[in-house]
Structure 1
Amino acid sequence: MLLRSMFAQNYRSLRSIRMDLSGINLFIGENGVGKSNLYRALQLIQAATRGRLAHEIAAEGGMFSALWSGPRRDGERSFRIRLETELLDEERAITFRYRVEAGLRPVTMMKRAGPAIAVRGPNGRMQDYPEQALPSETAIALLGDAGHYPEIGTFRRAIDGWRFFHGFRTDRLSQLRAPCLAVTAPLLDEDGNNIAAVFATLVHTREDTVDLDRAIVAALGGARLVVPLPEETAQFGLSFPEFPNRVFQPRELSDGQVRFLGLAAALMSYRLPPLIALNEPEASLHPDMLPPLADMIADAAQSSQIWIVTHSEPLAAAVRERCGARARHVVRQDGATWIEGMRLTGVIDEDE
């Protein structure tokens, strides 16, 4: 299911912005222009489908922290955050649209009034849902799990599958450096705590690591990934050409090496998520690692939609060379986050 467009209004630096999206979406801009708020808006839509919208807004400091931070027009006293997304099921030619609003009044989701929810039943008529929602719950989270509304469940599962890799810890206590339970791991957790199981699944279940091995060789000086057959835990290490008889454990690797392996697990796992969002993936990476990273992004884009926020012009250029995706330059316009060259309709003029 392809994320075709998004809309955000009155959220932090996003006064009102609508964007058409493609297979690869690359955002670049200076600090403080609001790149991360675009990324975060998608996360809030996912949180709504999981029933955690209230929790996420509270974690940001509450509504007053999450609301539009720029100047208000005359007569404006309060705002409601509005987030909207559109997904296209290309196989069935079905378009799903979902809008969530949050403000200082009760949140309305679908047909909701306070705890009461109305939903369209099999007969095509609106009917009362038998359960009542708690103030902190969203209607789509309840209905998506109910088992009686396939369209809502399909939409919720699609968004629930998105993965946001905001940044991997690479310090000595990082989960990327630790063994994990030896269970099949088709995709990487957002904090990377199952990375060893992801590699073990590729090596011992899929038995095909040609692309992964090529990326590691290119980025890490000819290194080879070593993944023992898991017993109680899954583990991995690296073997380097200059030390052929020794396997270096994750705790011995540099921050950049560990971070690249985390990105490799995110982009080359056994089963990729429908949307992979990377926030400043170039952090801690040596410049020589950027072309192999761009190669992995291009490979992942064959089956997943990609969202990248970066400061790196070389990475943006490498992704464009491999995928043809132009960087969208994020700027401030009248105090609000905006995309350079984008019309009010969300269409970006390719000549800009």
Structure 2
Amino acid sequence: MLTTLAVDNYRSLRRIVMPLHGLNVVTGANGSGKSSLYRALRLLSDASRNGAVAALAREGGLQSTLWAGPEHVRKDRPAQGTRRTGPVTLRMGFAGDDYGYLMDLGLPIPHGSEFDLDPEIKREALWAGPFLRPAALLVERNNRDVRIRSGSGEWQRSGHQLQTFDSMLSEFADPERAPELLVVRDRMRGWRFYDHFRTDTEAPARRVQIGTRTAVLAPDGSDLAAALQTIKELSPRGTVEDAVELGFPGSRVEVVNSAGRFEVAFHQSGLLRPLSGAELSDGTLRYLLWVAALLTPRPPDLLVLNEPETSLHPDLLPALANLVVTAAKEAQVIVVTHSRPFIASLEALSPELQTLELIKDAGATTIDGQRPLDEPPWKWPSR
């Protein structure tokens, strides 16, 4: 389980060190930085697949995603530009009870390449334990060079130079000398993100699809019917039925198999025939998608949900909260939401829930009520 998330200079996240529990809610007003935090987590996950540089390019490049305020904030005077004293840097990292990882990206030295706007990975570090200290470092990357701490505690050169756009997580694999790197990489690749599911008339979830065993719902929900049927067969009896009954009393969902093509059939009290996926209301379809996503028989280490309450009637929020709390029994969950009724439903079901409210202070995102001494221990290494 992650215990700390740290981000520096990503959009409004000028400097944030966030404690994490098993079930976390990140909330705040529009523009407070919730989406930036969600994107920062996705960037970390992309790093494990060597996709962080490309993901930043899709957001407009490093210059577009960097903190847009002054390098040093003075609350006693208006924001103004000054001569930069430190390097341009975007840093992201996390720590858990067993391992921690961080990445530091910066601008390249122009050398006439067509890719001179691509950010470079300047530093990476993997360490043992909940916070970075020299004695806990296991693998360290400085520009192109990677070094590994041996079992005797001595540092060894990896013998392999990385490209500046390649992460050591994806491009350096040594199961004998650095097995911890593979462990952390596989965990990060298993992080699961669900954003706004499509429920329009052309949504993939409304179509009949070829069905195979589906333990993990696709991000676009296209394999909804197969995912629901997999949960029915692999999870305890009544798992899907109970979730549907809680959201829509007197209703049940069936998966119809026509020569290997699966379709959802929703039986509703008072109707003579079931409704197909194409006929379902947006809210009903969205709730079924969350049933399939959150009751997965293959839970991830980390599950991140971005505004799951979107388009749901307030009466469905307690049922959705029950799904989230159920998922948190098997996975660490981070929910990004601005819905107070949804948060209240989660609080009623989970006393262990941690709620973190983001606010803006001089344009920078901070955690409401968090003072410097309240932050988890965290240290960024120098370049």
1:60 lines up with 2:89 in the alignment: no
2:242 is matched with which residue?
214
d(CA) in 2 for partners of 1:193, 1:136? 33
Q: Name the CA shift for 1:165/1:122 in 2 (closer, same or farther; >3 Å).
A: same
1:192 lines up with 2:221 in the alignment: yes
User: 1:92-107 residue pairs with structure 2 within 5 A?
Assistant: 95-105=98-108, 106-107=120-121
Q: Name the CA shift for 1:56/1:346 in 2 (closer, same or farther; >3 Å).
A: farther
User: 1:1-352 residue pairs with structure 2 within 5 A?
Assistant: 2-73=1-72, 74-76=82-84, 79-88=88-97, 95-105=98-108, 106-107=120-121, 108-110=123-125, 111-121=140-150, 124-143=153-172, 145-148=173-176, 149-203=178-232, 205-206=233-234, 208-229=236-257, 231-243=259-271, 245-324=272-351, 325-347=353-375
1:92 is matched with which residue?
none
Provide TM-score, normalisation by structure 1: 0.89
Question: Which region of structure 1 is more displaced relative to structure 2, 38-47 or 225-234?
Answer: 225-234
d(CA) in 1 for partners of 2:258, 2:102? 44
Corresponding letter in the other structure for 1:222: G
Deviation string 1:302-348 (CA, Å, 9 cap, x unpaired) is 11111111121100001011112253221101211111111224549
Runs of 4+ that moved beyond 6 A? none
Q: Name the CA shift for 1:20/1:113 in 2 (closer, same or farther; >3 Å).
A: closer
Question: Which region of structure 1 is more displaced relative to structure 2, 307-316 or 119-128?
Answer: 119-128
d(CA) in 2 for partners of 1:170, 1:266? 15
Q: Name the CA shift for 1:180/1:274 in 2 (closer, same or farther; >3 Å).
A: farther
Contact (CA 8 Å) 1:200, 1:229: kept in 2 or not? Answer: no
d(CA) in 2 for partners of 1:212, 1:344? 44
Provide TM-score, normalisation by structure 2: 0.82
d(CA) in 1 for partners of 2:258, 2:158? 47
Contact (CA 8 Å) 1:162, 1:274: kept in 2 or not? Answer: yes
Deviation at 1:198, TM superposition (A): 1.1
Deviation at 1:40, TM superposition (A): 1.5
Corresponding letter in the other structure for 2:361: Q
Larger Rg: 2
Query: Unmatched 5+ residue regions in structure 1?
Result: 89-94
Deviation at 1:64, TM superposition (A): 0.8
SS at match of 1:71: coil
Deviation at 1:167, TM superposition (A): 1.2
Deviation at 1:230, TM superposition (A): 7.0
d(CA) in 2 for partners of 1:69, 1:220? 47
Query: Unmatched 5+ residue regions in structure 2?
Result: 73-81, 109-119, 126-139, 377-383
Deviation at 1:109, TM superposition (A): 2.4
